Structure 1
Amino acid sequence: MKFFIVTLLSVFFVHGAQAKPLELIDLAGRKVTVETPVSRFGLSEGRYIATLSLLRENNPVEGLVGMMSPLKWTHPVLEQKLFSKFPKAKNIPVFGTKGADSVSAEKIIDLRPEVIILGLGDHGPNSKAKELIDQLEAAGIKIIFIDFRQNPLKNTLPSLKILGQLFGAEERAQAYIDFYQDRMDTIRTRLENVIDKPKVFLQVHAGRRECCWGMADGMLGPFVEYAGGNNIADKIAPGPTALHTHEFLLLENPDVWIATASGTIPEFESGALPVTTGAGVTAQIAEESLTRYLTTSEFQAMDAIRNGRAHSFWHNFYNSPLNIVVLEALAKWIHPTLFKDIDPQQTLNTLYNRFMPVEIDGTYFATYRHDKL
């Protein structure tokens, strides 16, 4: 019996020695000390599983005890692939729906996470949810804020670094950070002496929302300026998104029109308007859905459409460290000659091959073919 007890104590101390306290400053500017690597954690949105997949290819969801929303709401094909490879992922509890109001502290506390990872300003509880934060902290749950949504140009890489530290994946996080930074530096360097900045309109959820919601000062809006464009929505509606009229677009007459595409294959097949890209989508569907949406007279009067400089990309690159491929696509579409050797689809393929535990399929970018009308 004595030997048994000593053995148990030895095992306890060996495992205890593996954990170490980490003090970090999260993206809300909060100083947090947490034992790492984290073994039980929760997420505000299921979409963050895609990010964890970049850092934890052997099992992205290991230790995930609950999340506000399932991955299928934004990445249904990825969810099915992960379910196939990691069957236990099917049983992860969901403690809310699509909004912060659906989440209660009691639901989270019952799951006993050591840490809960929240977005600085995403669809789940954010840094302003003081009552929830206070209740969770009183229960001994550490809260870490990350951000790929509010200010991705500034916060994507620091957020990845934090996640790498939390899960003992520092080397893998740094490898992704180096890859990302190299792509950013290439774009910045090539644009250093560029004076001409084409006018660009970046439209959100084309065909799903009324025309025309534009991204400006926030989310992916600042990517337009970084990629050498002049975001026409920014000067009249400084904020993440705002509704603009067809008349505004006709008056400003952008040189380049770009849309985020959130349509699904069933919607496309039914004749619905949402522009479609993503996993399982063929190049033909992506192109035809974009053409279908742009056939109205209002769009056809715009130079960007008549000159074949209208494009779309998968909406869910937003709020994700995969947003680097959007930056490359914008640079190529805004300055096609300067970035003719850049291929965002190839960059995406490389990222999947190097970092993701599943293979990529589908079409994530499309260009309007005015000659096919």
Structure 2
Amino acid sequence: MLALASTPHAWADPITVTDIAGRNVTVDAPVERIILGEGRQIYLLGALEPEAPFAHVVGWRHDFSEADPDNYAAYAAKFPEMTRIPTFGGFKDGTFDVEQAASLKPDVVLMNLEAKAATEDAAYDTKLAELGIPILYIDFREKPLEHTIPSMRLIGRLLGDEKRAEAFIDFAEAQLARVTDRIAAAKPERPRVFIDRAGGYSDDCCMSFGPGNFGEYVELAGGDNIADGIIPQTFGTLNPEQIIAANPDQVVVTGGNWGAYVPGGNWVGVGPGADMGEARTKLENLTRRTAMTGIAAVENGEVHAIWHQFYNSPYYFVAVQRLAKWFHPDLFQDLDPEATLRELHERFLPVDYMPGYWVSLHDD
């Protein structure tokens, strides 16, 4: 039964919460009806309510099916009702429909922090406020290490799932510490690392990360991000000459199944259930680009691909573990990132684990 047929709990009481934008917002909680400003916010809801992750979702942005079709298919197979939930355009591209949203009578709209400026420019916040519909900003992309945990706590409080949120947070922090504590104690020599953001998605080269997101994952995993100091913000671009001059010891391409965006593209299709043979072939093809000419990582086979959505989900600690094992295999011989990802699914997530989230040009 779809959540849009539900009615508010009689025991809902007003609470005031502080969202990731620092705004104090009053909502009636536990909330019953939520609009997701990004479909991939289901990564967070799913970890809090794995038995019924869509029970409170009355509308959502359509990006999940396009950006992560493999997980979308897994969720849809288990929760077919999700395919009947109304979808929206985005706040950033100006295609969000306020009237449609109001017709669904949501208790709250969850928005990603990165859409805040566009939301205010288009006066969506004012229009929704006039209808008595509050917006709450969360973030697990702009500053995932800083904002994912408070975002989980915020949603846990909205849904009355505080204990579940704290259990997830305890797991995430413990798994991250398995890397950061050892790096801090051993102080290993840091390899130079180039993160090739969505390599092969377009013919342009090369998108990367500055000091945030995957750039920060690199530092936590004991690497030296070559884009740090060149790209000032979280996202940006390096030209081939800068990459060749930096001569990275390690190259990590972020990839996914982007057939909805770039059919037949050169992107590396890692993700749940991915074809590892095809992914490895496409990864090898990317080493023939001008930016990879003569660099140490290619010469030594230290070229890898990892699931792009680790940059945009509360599973960042798995990516840090996988990077650490690539960068420092001797130091992390006993670390098994795949076992961590499997445990994450078994303990917290609504769908079964399927391998395929990373691939490398060497066996490890």
Give the TM-score taking structure 2 as reference length.
0.90
Q: For residues 316 and 291 of structure 2, what CA distance do their matches in structure 1 show?
A: 30
Paired residue for 1:231?
225
- RMSD over aligned CA atoms reads 2.5
Deviations 1:189-229 (A, max 9, x none): 11114152221111101111311111112332211112221
Q: Name which of structure 1's ranges 96-105 and 286-295 shifts more when overlaid on structure 2.
A: 96-105
Q: Name which of structure 1's ranges 193-202 and 152-161 shifts more when overlaid on structure 2.
A: 193-202
Query: What does 1:146-161 align with in structure 2 at a 5 Å threshold?
Result: 146-161=138-153
Alignment partner of 2:45: what SS? Answer: helix
Q: Is the 1:265–1:276 contact (alpha carbons within 8 Å) kept by the matching residues of 2?
A: no
1:350 lines up with 2:343 in the alignment: yes
Query: What does 1:13-92 align with in structure 2 at a 5 Å threshold?
Result: 15-16=9-10, 18-92=11-85
CA shift, 1:38, in A, is 0.8
Q: For residues 64 and 129 of structure 1, what CA distance do their matches in structure 2 show?
A: 26
CA shift, 1:100, in A, is 3.5
Answer with 1 or 2: which has the greater Rg.
Answer: 1
Q: For residues 233 and 47 of structure 2, what CA distance do their matches in structure 1 show?
A: 30
Alignment partner of 1:228: what SS? Answer: coil
Paired residue for 1:243?
237
Change (3 A) 1:158 1:33: same
Deviations 1:146-203 (A, max 9, x none): 1001100111111111111111211111111000011122222111141522211111
Q: For residues 219 and 97 of structure 2, what CA distance do their matches in structure 1 show?
A: 39
Paired residue for 1:188?
180
Change (3 A) 1:339 1:127: farther
Specify which of 191, 197, 205 is matched with residue 204 of structure 1: 197
Alignment partner of 1:191: what SS? Answer: helix
CA shift, 1:282, in A, is 2.6
Q: Is the 2:9–2:32 contact (alpha carbons within 8 Å) kept by the matching residues of 1?
A: no
Aligned residues: 355
CA shift, 1:242, in A, is 1.9
Paired residue for 1:4?
none
Deviations 1:14-55 (A, max 9, x none): 952x32332211100011121111101101111111221111
Q: For residues 343 and 138 of structure 1, what CA distance do their matches in structure 2 show?
A: 51
Alignment partner of 2:123: what SS? Answer: helix
Paired residue for 2:3?
none
Q: For residues 301 and 65 of structure 1, what CA distance do their matches in structure 2 show?
A: 52
Q: What is the identity percentage for the equivalent residue pairs of Structure 1 and Structure 2?
A: 34
- Give the partner amino acid of 1:178: D
Paired residue for 1:221?
215
Alignment partner of 1:159: what SS? Answer: helix
Paired residue for 1:328?
321
- Give the partner amino acid of 2:22: G
Query: What does 1:95-110 align with in structure 2 at a 5 Å threshold?
Result: 95-96=88-89, 99-110=92-103
Specify which of 270, 279, 284 is matched with residue 291 of structure 1: 284
Paired residue for 2:4?
none
Paired residue for 2:168?
176
Q: Is the 2:13–2:28 contact (alpha carbons within 8 Å) kept by the matching residues of 1?
A: yes
Paired residue for 2:253?
259
- Give the partner amino acid of 1:132: Y
Deviations 1:70-119 (A, max 9, x none): 42112223223322322321111112158441114323222211100000
Q: Is the 2:240–2:290 contact (alpha carbons within 8 Å) kept by the matching residues of 1?
A: no
Q: For residues 30 and 266 of structure 1, what CA distance do their matches in structure 2 show?
A: 36
Change (3 A) 1:75 1:137: same
Q: Is the 2:94–2:122 contact (alpha carbons within 8 Å) kept by the matching residues of 1?
A: no
Q: For residues 119 and 266 of structure 1, what CA distance do their matches in structure 2 show?
A: 22
Q: For residues 109 and 41 of structure 1, what CA distance do their matches in structure 2 show?
A: 11
Q: For residues 186 and 87 of structure 1, what CA distance do their matches in structure 2 show?
A: 37
Q: Is the 1:55–1:164 contact (alpha carbons within 8 Å) kept by the matching residues of 2?
A: yes
- Unpaired segments of 5 or more residues in structure 2? 1-6
Specify which of 107, 123, 131 is matched with residue 131 of structure 1: 123
Q: Is the 2:210–2:230 contact (alpha carbons within 8 Å) kept by the matching residues of 1?
A: no
Q: For residues 324 and 348 of structure 2, what CA distance do their matches in structure 1 show?
A: 24
Q: Name which of structure 1's ranges 181-190 and 62-71 shifts more when overlaid on structure 2.
A: 62-71
